[in-house]
Amino acid sequence: MQVSPEDFEKAKDQLKRLKKDPGNEVKLKLYALFKQATQGPCSTPKPGMLDFVNKTKWDAWSSLGSLPKDSASQNYVELVSSLVSSESSNQMEESSTVSKSGYESLQVTTKDNITTIVLNRPEKKNAITSKMYAEIIQALDEAGKDASVITVITGSGDYYCSGNDLNNFASIPPDGVEKAAKESAILLKNFVGHFIDFPKPLIAVVNGPAVGIAVTLLGIFDIVYATDRATFHTPFSSLGQSPEGCSSYTFPKIMGNAFHYSLNYIFLIYGVFCFISFLSQSLAVSKQLIRNAEKEKLHAVNDQECDCLVGRWLSDECINAIMSFFQKKSQL
């Protein structure tokens, strides 16, 4: 294919308008082809050894040997065209990823019909604060109503989630413990309720250790995928607490009545999930048909667990366990 002078000038203009630096290797190749196309084979004296920049350019141009001007011009235009095409493709891909702002502790994006909610406190092992509870509720509300077909929850960094941030208890005044316990139960009930009522397939990608509420909620997910770094720990006994996240119902149902909460590591892996684009809303419809029969039971269990937790949070056992945690932390 013969390249016209107009095509060559157009390629020069397109190269100037590239937003992304193609890198030194490509720029040297472009330089050499441009020189070959406009001046022919390299005939200038070789720069001195210490003139590194010009010597590198000379070497690139000289390496083209006797390549005809027309061929160099064609190669130049084709290389520029490939750079323009690659940049346009990357821009389209970036524009298809919608990032949702307004979150302090989460990263929420939608791409290829998948909304991904990333727990984003890696420096705190993604421990859940009261603010984070509210943001996850908000993210689930938005994901349930957006155009995506499935929703994925995962963690940033090495941990999936280390459970509740016990600093949530640090600012409670001595005379406000009962009020705080009741308010926390209301928040937890609402939080778990959003997982129960979530209308679309909900996928957990457990990328690392999961603790407490991060584990107990997994029984409500539709699919759980775990990496080889994932571990599961439910420290109810050591913290003087009782089950939550409907796990008093879902865990025995999944793992049998022999299951006991003193286990440090439990395995809830339903299968490996392959991320593909879903073109049908039938998944959400199918979920509703399957889940509707269970919803009433799950909400009832959630209510009972939260009521029980208020008593546990006010117990000497739980208070002493939390005080012991902070004492050990202060000694580190």
Question: Residue 267 has what pLDDT?
Answer: 45
Of the ranges 32-46, 87-101, 172-186, which one carries the lowest mean pLDDT score?
Answer: 87-101
110 phi/psi in degrees, rounded to 5: -130, 125
Mean pLDDT check: name the lowest of 35-49, 78-92, 255-269, 270-284: 270-284
Which residues on adjacent β-strands are paired with residue 225? 205
Mean pLDDT for the chain?
84
* Continuous segment of H or E residues that includes residue 246: none
Of the CA atoms within 13 Å of residue 172, those in its CB half-sphere come to: 22
pLDDT at 302: 95
Query: What digits encode the pLDDT tens for the residues 250-293?
Result: 888 877 665 544 443 444 444 433 333 333 455 565 666 667 77
Measured CA distances, 225 to 136, 257, 315, 318, 322 (Å) = 20, 23, 36, 32, 31
274 vs 213, residue with greater confidence: 213
**How large is the average pLDDT for residues 145-157?**
94
Which domains are delineated in the chain? Answer: 5-95 (1.20.80.10), 98-331 (3.90.226.10)
Better pLDDT: 57 or 288? 57
Q: Give, for 119, the enclosing helix (H) or strand (E).
A: strand 114-119
* pLDDT in the model for residue 190: 97
What's the CA gap between 324 and 316, in Å, rounded? 12
Per-residue pLDDT reduced to its tens digit, 319-331: 777 677 555 654 4
Backbone φ and ψ of 206, nearest 5°? -85, 100
Lowest-pLDDT range of 16-20, 32-36, 240-244: 240-244
Q: Flag whether pLDDT at 304 surpasses 70.
A: yes
Q: Which residue has the higher pLDDT, 271 or 101?
A: 101
Report percent pLDDT > 90 for the chain: 54
Higher pLDDT, 84 or 175: 84
pLDDT the model gives residue 322: 67
Residues 229-240 have a mean pLDDT of 80
Read off the pLDDT band of 35 (50, 70, 90): very high
Residue 141 near residue 194, CB atoms below 8 Å: yes
pLDDT tier for residue 98 given thresholds of 50, 70 and 90:
confident
